[in-house]
Chain A
Amino acid sequence: MTRNNTGKEQIIRTICNSHCGGNCEMQVHVKNGRIIRIEPDDREGRPRMCLRGHAYRQRVYAPDRILYPLKRTGPRGAGEFSRISWEEALDTIAFEMKKVKSEYGNAAFLHFCSMCDPHVLHHVGAFHRLLCKFGGYTAPWGFISNEAAAFSAGATYGTYRRYSQVEHDSEEYLKAKYIIMWSWNPVDTEQGTNTPWHLMQAKEKGAKIICVDPRYTDSAAVFADKWIPVRPGTDTAVLVAMANVIINENLHDEGFINSYTSGFEKYKEYVLGSTDGLPKTPEWASAISGVAADEIKEMARLYATEKPAVLATSIAAGRTAFGEQYHRAAAALEAITGNLEFNDWQSRSPKGFRINPHPTPPNQVEQEAPPRWNALPFRGKSVNSSARVNISLFADAILKGKEGGYPADYKFLWLSNTNYLNQLSEVNKTAKAFERLEFMLVTEQFMTASARYADVILPVCTFLERTDIMSPRAASIFGGKNVVGILNKAIEPLGESKSQLQICEALAPKLGITDYGNEPDENRVREIVAQISEEINLPDFETLRKEGIHIIEASPSSDSLKGTHSKPSPKPFSTPSEKIDIYSDVLARMNHPQIPAVPTYIEPWESIHDPLTEKYPLQLITPHIKRRAHSQFDNLPWLRELQEQRLSIHSTDAELRGIRHGDMVRIYNDRGEVRIPADVTERIMPGVVAIPQGAWYTPDKKGIDYGGCANVLTKNATSPGGSFVSSTALVQVEKEDR
């Protein structure tokens, strides 16, 4: 990384958005076509980068970046490849795609695109368009991050725009007297850049902050007046018991309940136990969750009376066996106390915001299929189609196909910037599925655990090597104001790497698609800006591109852009009752014992009462770590040296096992084994261990993972609503003896 000191230094503005939940401004210093440093925007209040953004230069110039097309030369998973030309790569892919199409039909194609650096042009839409023009493919359903929350929001509000209770604008925090951060660690994860700064301002103004989490996170350390450890998978019980206290003590908000909610009486019956004879008291919840009954009472009382109060229940605790119940219970609690704010989330995006640069014919594979049984009406025909495969179950679908009840047999897998071997449950099972495929295409920047199984790998450039635009959206960081911004290309793509869109453009003609188009990114972005400008006042393109993130001022013509805090009275919700459905008819009609119509605590599988605890007594959770965004950035030396990949284990559990801080430990269950050092700590609940998710799976010959990939141990299953389940798993830990 030596710097050449001749040549003119240019500063190019762009916006990092690395599937982390952030949007951060970058000033990229470029000299002689190379990035020499990346500077933040130091104006106060602007979205500042995290450590990963600051390390991005190392990502661009990483010695292990894939810069040329590769074809597999060894067995799947061995990671043996040789360089080939783009021509050969594209011809091979096109040949295989045509073969699979004629032998098995289009449903045999699976395509997944994660959100590596998701913007507008270089995004899943580009691939979707290509594949639909090719006759269709099997797409996934289910957000890995937040399907439980989306399911709950869909049932409760009839929209997923407010997909979780952490979707608050900065101004809500600033007004709040009492904030409950629930399984929410914004110091290590991004929930809108600068969220910690807004929380800090709230704290400095005197807000009382509570953290409910099995771990004493960095967020608990910085913000919490009180940390309340809770047993994983039992959050719903605590939320239900809080409702019990509030109803019993008459602290609920009758006015709000009557005006805006439906089904309160039915929930009350469940909460008070009049239907099942079991009142959901704080004592009841305490036995389940490990939270003292008095803590539950106090939290309930303060939340109901110290208004405005904010309940920030994150999506983490939703990634559990019955995650949707947690989100439903949080939504109910917020509504019965009248703590719910009606902000912009309730309205549909204004016209200029719905940009689609990739107009696409319908996906033929989905055309005839009826909706799935657990589909929510608001989500649209396509996502609800039973032709889709739940994202968490795709390996199972490959392994079992039609015989296992899936809609098709799957032969061709295309992973685009997606490391699902690593990031979905039960790695060893997914590896077996990959071995069964006829062809696997991976478009990637690095030789990820998944890429090692590919037949052909195509090199994708980073967002610093292409132009794009961030889609206009409401940004909590600017108090819910709407923003848009241009991502300027800082340097030419390295080696022979291409952008996601360029790859589709190159492949289209080989597949006999003549109308995919082929247009420089910048022209496309100019066109999008022109389109948006028809609806919304924007500066001209040249001004906009120099601005970083542009705050859209309300134009007099468009009502919905008037700023979000004018306290709009709520519009009718798209639920059957047109209100907030605490009792949901839609769920009742699903007629499934584990999808109750009112929020309900259901004991998870692999809980502490599971007989399996005799073998595997510890509950594993798989939180985020600040030096990665999921599996991204794991390979960068600037970040690796900051945090070691370790197992967090409480000192009493460690002592029982003769484990000392720093010892190598085996973490295992029937699904696999991981070996990493132990962090013996007070910062986690006894009985619970944590492996930060996202470390790259690095198995030895026996399949023991030394990389510390948490999903070796997680169970391949979904919640009834379709959630990825990453934090319901039992394991045993012991000291490695060697």
Chain B
Amino acid sequence: MQYGFYFNQNRCMGCFACIVACKDWHDVPAGPVSWIRIKTIEKGRYPDLSVSFLPQLCVHCASPACAAVCPADAITKRGEDGVVVVDSEACLGSTCGLCLDECPYGAPQFGAEEDAKMQKCDLCIERISIGKKPICVSSCPMYALDAGPLDELWAKYGKCREIEGFEYSENVIPSIVFTPRKNSGNSRIRKIEIAPSVKTATSG
């Protein structure tokens, strides 16, 4: 079985509740590591604009490039649910960072500390094991996110696998389905901002 995510781009309002809920739940401090980020995608010129949002997180690929490239076999794909997990003890640390180079979706995260071990979204397997949804799903006030067995998500939401800002990759086969944004206009993307931004990470 393969678990995955669902995202409805018409509903997401970029409120960032999911980001902070995830940081609190998994006890991730402010700084370079964020298991989920939200991109704000701005298009058009005044006054004809469109702005939409897109999460950036691990999409638990069917054939994860990160796992394939890891020299320490620290990344594995779980048989029972297809969740891609990392064994941070085995990880060689940020000096290696091959997984990050290979991942098309920027999912692997490294802290600022020297030789930080890779960490990333684990689809809240702990919560799933007690019948709950991942914390981002549970916290989303717009019901823009869902997670579960991929076939169930397909049955419920359709099979759209690509939206603006997210390219489907045949190589890795990401486990995420979308409801794309209606009427987002044809003008080109002017600006993409990402929260938390990797560069403005603050401390203290």
Contact = CB atoms under 8 A, between A and B. Distances in A.
B121 to A, nearest CB: 16
Contact of A42 (B44, B133, B196): B133
Contacts of B50: 221
B13 A55 contact: no
- A-B pairs with lowest CB-CB distance, top 5: A637-B30, A221-B51, A42-B138, A54-B20, A641-B196
Contacts of B201: 641
B27 A37 contact: yes
Nearest to A42: B138
A250 interface: no
Nearest to B190: A682
Interface string A1-23: 11100000000000000000000
B63 interface: no
B71 interface: no
B200 A200 contact: no
Interface in B18-69: 19-21, 23-25, 27, 29-31, 42, 44-47, 49-52
B139 A40 contact: yes
How many A residues touch the partner, as a band?
35 or more
Contacts of B17: 48-51, 54
Interface in A182-201: 187, 193-194, 196-197, 200
B202 interface: yes
Interface string B142-177: 110000000000000000000000000000000000
29 contacts: A1-B27, A2-B27, A37-B25, A37-B27, A40-B21, A42-B133, A42-B137, A48-B17, A48-B139, A48-B141, A49-B139, A51-B15, A187-B13, A196-B15, A204-B10, A222-B13, A229-B46, A229-B47, A637-B29, A637-B202, A637-B204, A638-B20, A638-B24, A639-B20, A641-B31, A641-B202, A651-B46, A682-B49, A683-B42
Contacts of A196: 13, 15, 141-142
A639 B34 CA distance: 12
Given A48-B139, A216-B49, A638 B14 contact: no
Nearest to B133: A42
Contact of B143 (A3, A37, A197, A627): A197
Contacts of A683: 42, 46, 49, 51
Nearest to B12: A222
Interface residues of B, number: 47
A49 B195 CA distance: 18
Contact of B11 (A44, A200, A686): A200
A677 B187 CA distance: 27
Nearest to B197: A641
B40 to A, nearest CB: 8
Contacts of A37: 24-25, 27
Tell me if B's interface is mostly helix, strand, loop or mixed: loop
Contacts of A50: 15, 17, 141
A643 interface: yes
B15 A187 contact: yes
Nearest to B14: A218
**Of residues A50, A627, A641, A644, which shows the largest number of chain B Cβ atoms within 10 Å of its Cβ?**
A641
B15 A39 contact: no
Contacts of B107: none
Contact of A640 (B10, B30, B138): B30
Interface string A208-252: 000000001011011000010100000000000000000000000
B49 A42 contact: no
Nearest to A35: B24
Interface in A23-60: 36-40, 42, 44, 48-51, 54-55, 57-58
Given A54-B23, A221-B50, 7 more contacts: A49-B21, A50-B141, A196-B15, A204-B10, A218-B15, A641-B202, A642-B195
Nearest to A188: B15
Nearest to A679: B193
Interface in B105-127: none
A488 to B, nearest CB: 19
Nearest to B32: A641
A638 B139 contact: no
Contact of A642 (B12, B16, B203): B16
A219 B20 CA distance: 20
A3 B140 contact: no
Contacts of B78: none
B44 A626 contact: no
A259 to B, nearest CB: 39
A585 B129 CA distance: 66
Contacts of A2: 27
A51 B46 contact: no
B117 to A, nearest CB: 16
Nearest to B195: A642
Interface of B: 10-17, 19-21, 23-25, 27, 29-31, 42, 44-47, 49-52, 132-133, 135, 137-143, 190-191, 195-197, 200-204
Interface of A: 1-3, 36-40, 42, 44, 48-51, 54-55, 57-58, 63, 187, 193-194, 196-197, 200, 204, 216, 218-219, 221-222, 227, 229, 626-627, 637-644, 650-651, 681-683, 685-686
Nearest to A644: B200
Contacts of B203: 637
B141 A194 contact: yes
Contact of A55 (B24, B47, B204): B24
A226 B202 CA distance: 36
B139 A54 contact: yes
A54 B28 CA distance: 13
A39 B20 contact: no
A555 to B, nearest CB: 31
A472 to B, nearest CB: 24
Nearest to B41: A221
A196 B195 CA distance: 20
Contact of B42 (A638, A641, A682): A682
Nearest to A680: B191
A54 B46 contact: no
A420 to B, nearest CB: 26
A316 B124 CA distance: 39
A642 B121 CA distance: 18
Given A37-B24, A187-B15, A683-B42, A197 B133 contact: no
Contacts of A651: 46
Contact of B142 (A193, A197, A639): A197
Given A216-B51, A222-B13, A227-B49, A54 B27 contact: no
Given A3-B27, A229-B47, A42 B132 contact: yes
Contacts of B30: 637-638, 640-641
Contacts of A227: 47, 49
Contacts of B142: 196-197, 200
Contacts of B191: 681
Contacts of A58: 24
A193 B141 CA distance: 9
Contacts of B190: 682
A194 B139 CA distance: 12
B51 A218 contact: yes
Contacts of A51: 15-17, 19-20
B178 to A, nearest CB: 16
A197 B15 CA distance: 12
B108 to A, nearest CB: 19
Given A50-B17, A638-B20, A682 B44 contact: yes
Nearest to A63: B204
B44 to A, nearest CB: 7
Contacts of A642: 16, 19-20, 195-196
Contacts of B19: 51, 642
